[in-house]
Amino acid sequence: MKALRKLWLAVAYYLSWLLFGLGGLALNLGCAPFLLARDRERFGPRARAAARRLFAFWLDWMDLSGVVRIEWHGFERELPRGVVYAANHPTLVDAPFLLGRLTDTVCIFKPSLLRNPAIGPAALLCGYVSGDAGVDGIRAAAACVASGRSLLIFPEGTRTVDGTTLNPLHPGFALIARRAGAPVQLVHVTSSPLIARKGQPWWKLPPLPARFDFTLGELIPADNDLSPTELTALVAQKLRA
């Protein structure tokens, strides 16, 4: 029985990535024609809802198949809107897992992915923000949050380096929150080792089932008196804890 279970988990793991690719391809093919519309922004809410449903389906599949075991803490209550979600970033799947649970939320995308015809159409229609747009990117992200959408951001900028608790944080999230007049909601992510970590190829089979723990932490109000530098230091301290 142990051998059969091990074989099933291996098959289910790779099938999970196949489903992720096929779902993403279908979403991008469906979104691409709407990019030609002059008022394409009005399709954003439906695109984000579709992306969320696909991410949620993928998450449920991985959970039901036994590939991962996920614990959610604090997500059972109604989640706030118009906030900046600041999370640590241990694995490659943090963003899709969280986007499958968070309501009407955009995230920061690498510019190369936004230009990728296989990935970019859905991200652009969803209103995701380019990660290297500098001041313009901060303004665009802040405008999204100020309009009532939430923003998921990983202040580390990349996945946590193996052997460390947290990479140094970039202050962009604090600047966005300050400009938008939005609170910062901390999200703590923990996972078992060797699952989609930095330097660990996704196609290399990790020990399964993998375990994830997502916890809503402190909500730092918008009317705090901290400078962006001080807010960044405070968030780093709390995420390390």
62-94 pLDDT tens trace: 999 999 999 999 998 888 889 999 999 999 999
Relative to beta strand 84-87, strand 184-191 is parallel
DSSP 8-state code for residue 127: T
Q: Helix, strand, or coil here: 108?
A: strand
Phi, then psi, of 232 in degrees rounded to 5: -60, -45
**pLDDT tens-digit series, residues 206-217:** 999 999 999 999
Q: Which of 56, 49, 103, 107 is closest to 81 using CA atoms?
A: 103
Q: Which of 108, 101, 106 is closest to 212 using CA atoms?
A: 101
Q: Helix, strand, or coil here: 96?
A: helix
Does residue 125 contact residue 37 with C-beta atoms inside 8 Å?
A: no
**pLDDT tens-digit series, residues 36-65:** 998 899 999 999 999 999 999 999 999 999
| Residue 167 confidence (pLDDT) | 95
The residue written with tokens 């039901």 in the block is: 64
Number of domains into which the chain is organized: 1
Given pLDDT bands bounded at 50, 70 and 90, which one contains residue 116?
confident
| 216-177-121 Cα angle (round to 5) | 85
DSSP conformation letters of 140-209: HHHHHHHTT-EEEE-TTSSPPPTT-S-PPPPTHHHHHHHHHT--EEEEEEEE-TTSS-TTS-TTSPPSSS
Q: Which run of H or of E encompasses 101?
A: none
| Residue 133 confidence (pLDDT) | 61
Given pLDDT bands bounded at 50, 70 and 90, which one contains residue 176?
very high
Report residue 218 as tokens: 């402190």
Give the residue numbers spanning the domain of 136. 2-240
